[in-house]
Chains A and B, each alone.
Chain A
């Protein structure tokens, strides 16, 4: 069990650029979640997959955000036309049904 893996750990980009993050869940977990956390706040839910199906999306997930989980394995989160307000820690978690969620180390996004 190697835990939830996220890549990259840090991303610095200019406003208006597109960025993509990757998450590899714990291998036997069929549920995968994306959260966003800003300084001084708890993580906020963005979206959730069960296998390859995206089952729930937050209102926080504007049309500039898209997430995929092809083949029910790793997932990607893409942000298009980044804005200053997108600066945050993007956290991925995975779980088995009815089991606690375990988080990866996160990707810290900084928008210049």
Chain B
């Protein structure tokens, strides 16, 4: 079992729809969770961080964390073609300072 798992996609949604991206992790002691957006050929860009159970909203983005289920998600409302990218889920290991990344989910927003 991989430490951080994501559906590789591609996830295709029409413009204006809600995109839902999911991630599960295996290390129960993990405390910090992040979503990075990566455009093709570019480096990861931090878009959300979440540390406690529940929802965290920032503009069109909402991160959700359920530590009991070891599950993190990212919702993108009113999806735009410019949101088309790979979304990387990252978990900060419980006993370490390294980020453990999933393989990323490719999101395609269709105009």
A101 touches B99 (CB 8 A): yes
Chain B interface size, as a band, is 20 to 34
Chain B positions within 8 Å of A98 at CB level: 32
What is the interface size of chain A, counting residues whose CB is below 8 A from a CB of the partner?
A: 24
Query: Is there an interface contact between B103 and A41, defined as CB atoms closer than 8 Å?
Result: yes
Verify if B98 is at the interface (C-beta below 8 Å from A): yes
B49 at the interface (CB under 8 A from A): yes
Q: Is the CB of A91 within 8 A of B44?
A: yes
Q: How far is the CA of A40 from the CA of B104 in the complex (A)?
A: 8
Query: Closest CB-CB distance, A107 to chain B, in whole Å?
Result: 10
A89 to chain B: which residues have CB within 8 Å?
43
| Interfacial residues, chain B to chain A (CB-CB below 8 A) | 4, 8, 32, 34, 36, 42-46, 49, 88, 90, 96-104
